[in-house]
Structure formats: C-alpha cells, structure tokens
Amino acid sequence: MFRKGVVASSPGKFILLGEHAVVYGKPAVALAINKRFLCRVQPGKINVLNGIPINAKMHPHITYILKINGVKNITISTQSEIPSSSGLGSSAALCTSLSAAIKAIKNENIDVEDLANDAFNAEYEVQKRASPLDASCSAFGKGIALNCPKNMGKYIWTAEKGKNKWDIFEIPVPKMTFVAGYTGIKSHTGQLVEKVRKYKERNKFATDMVNEIENVTLEGMNCISKYDLTGLGRVMTQDHKLLSILGVSCKELNKLVDASLRYSYGAKLTGSGGGGSMIALTDKPDKVCETIRMHGGAPFIVKTDVPGVTLEQEF
Ligand code: PMV
C-alpha cells in the first residue's frame, strides 16, 4: 500500500428501458443519479468491512472485488445514499467505488473501463447471469445505452458473455424530470433474473415478451433522440406492462405506477422488480411525490447527468 487512505464514490442509476431483456443481449438505457455510494479504504491487518472481518457469504460482491485485486489486508468503511436491493444499482456502485479506491491506494492506474468490467464480472458471478448495464452506468455516470443505434451516442466498450454481446455507448442526457418511488420491499436481482430464465426456458411466450421489450426500448431510444417526452412516457408504461406479464412486477409497484400515471408522461418499475423502485417521467414532480407517498412509497426527485466514479480524497 502506498497511501494512508482513499475515498472513492460512484453513482446509483435507474433503468429507463430494457431491464431483464438486456440480460439476453437486447438494448437498454440507464441514467446515473445523484445518490452515491462511498468507499473509504485504508491499509489494515486483515480485510475488514465497517469494523467487522469480511464474511464472504454475506458480502459476495466485496469478496470478489478484493480477490481480483489481490487484496488481503484492507479496512473498508462504506456509506451509501442508495438503499440496498432497491433497483437503484447499489451493488454496482459499491463494486466500482471499491475497485477504484483499492487501485488508488495501491497507486495503480485507474481505467474506468476496467472498473466497469470488474463490477460486471462481480455481478455476473453473484447473480450467475447479468448485463453490464449497471456496472457501466456506475463507472461512467451520465447516460448509458447498450446495443443502441450507432448514432445515438459515443461508443465506449464492448462486453461479451457466452452468446451475448453488448456494445456500450455513452449518450447525451436531455433535460427530463424523473421521480423515483421506493416500495420499501427488497428486490432480489439474482432470483428474478433466474425466474425469467426459467420462464423463457419453459415458455415461448416469455421469449416473445423479451422481444417486445426490445421493440419498445428501440422506440424509446428514438424518442430520446427526438426529445419526444410524450412518446418516451408512453413506451415506459408499455415496458412496465411487458415486465408485469414477464412476472417481475408486484402489487406495490403496480400501485405506485398506476397512481403516478395521472401526473406523468409514463411510469414503470426500474431494475429487477419484485419490489425495489419505480420511476416516473413527469413535469409535475411535486404532485407525483405526493401521490407516491399517499400510496405507501418513499419518493424522491431524481437528478440525472451526474459524473461516474470519482476519487473524493487521497491522504
Ligand atoms: O435491480 P438492479 O438494480 O440490480 O437491476 C437489475 C437489472 C437486470 O436487467 C434485471 C439484470 C442485469 O444484470 O441487467
């Protein structure tokens, strides 16, 4: 270790369109948000997290990141504004900020693509199946689109696993106002990804839904390029319906989505679902917050176009 300590942070994200289908190489869009995960690392005797020796079963993402960085003696303290398992990308933000802090304390070169790749591999290992969407968004920040039309943004990197390949682009984030609503119910990404896999294996109908999600996502990408908020909202709501048919919504999410629609261009669950959060595109954010609160959710107005992984302090 070359330094006494480093603090790094990464943003959470929400998925605007394409979750679950993206696991099968389909297109998707995610935007980084103004809620961050902070990791402070300092040299220690053994690996410790927030004062307790690290238990690999309880902290598989952290264990994976420590292993690939060859670290055995580090003290980690974390602080997060992103509720865990809320569909807002806390595990990818943890992985990218921790990886950056470890590389910085060892005086290693920090390459943002490597951080995204490390976080993707950590998620893939833990969930047994994943896309590089969350990992890319927390590493690069701003807006990220996977397998989008080539003129939509700036190409940054390509990830591949088995039969699936994702070309990853940074996209301009137009001015849009979103409200997120957290159901308070933990969302178990690995289980939901597995549920969709089994459904697809048993039933051709599930594959049709995944292909439909691809179509609405491409339509939504076109709306973003044309700054057509009405069209974008419409496809967000369609995407929510398709995700519900795929079996990854729940009554609490449906309630928040339905209630928000009255004051929004569109609304949908975001992330893996089964709980976690929903997102609404609106120009009446206070009204949407009020209705989400009245229907049992915890709302917040989301700021987008925020930076990716950042070294906050080196001492
Ligand atoms: O719920 P989150 O934030 O972990 O998002 C999961 C998104 C999925 O498409 C369901 C899985 C993935 O790896 O892309």
Per residue in 23-38, pLDDT (tens digit) is 999 999 999 999 999 9
3 confidence band (pLDDT: 50, 70, 90)? confident
In the chain, % of residues over pLDDT 90: 97
**pLDDT for 220:** 98
Residue 82 to residue 168: CA distance in whole angstroms: 24
Cα of 98 to ligand 1 centre, how many Å?
19
* Nearest protein CA to atom 5 of ligand 1, as residue: 271
Residue 81 to residue 94: CA distance in whole angstroms: 11
Mean pLDDT of 237-250: 98
Q: Are 138 and 308 in contact (CB under 8 A)?
A: yes
In the chain, % of residues over pLDDT 70: 100
Q: Which of 13, 17, 23, 272 to mutate to test the pocket of ligand 1 (most atoms within 8 A of CB)?
A: 272
What are 168-212's pLDDT values in tens digits?
Answer: 999 999 999 999 999 999 999 999 999 999 999 999 999 999 999
Mean model confidence pLDDT for the chain? 96
Token pair listed for 291:
């209705």
Tell whether pTM > 0.85.
Answer: yes
**pLDDT for 127:** 85
Q: Which of 10, 15, 80, 86 to mutate to test the pocket of ligand 1 (most atoms within 8 A of CB)?
A: 15
**pLDDT for 234:** 98
Cα of 225 to ligand 1 centre, how many Å?
24
What are 124-175's pLDDT values in tens digits?
Answer: 999 888 999 999 999 999 999 999 999 999 999 999 999 999 999 999 999 9
Find the residues whose C-beta lies inside 6 A of ligand 1.
Answer: 19-20, 22-23, 87, 89, 123, 130-131, 133-134, 187, 189, 193, 271-272, 276
The sign of the torsion formed by the CA atoms of 16, 182, 266, 19 equals: positive
Cα of 83 to ligand 1 centre, how many Å?
15
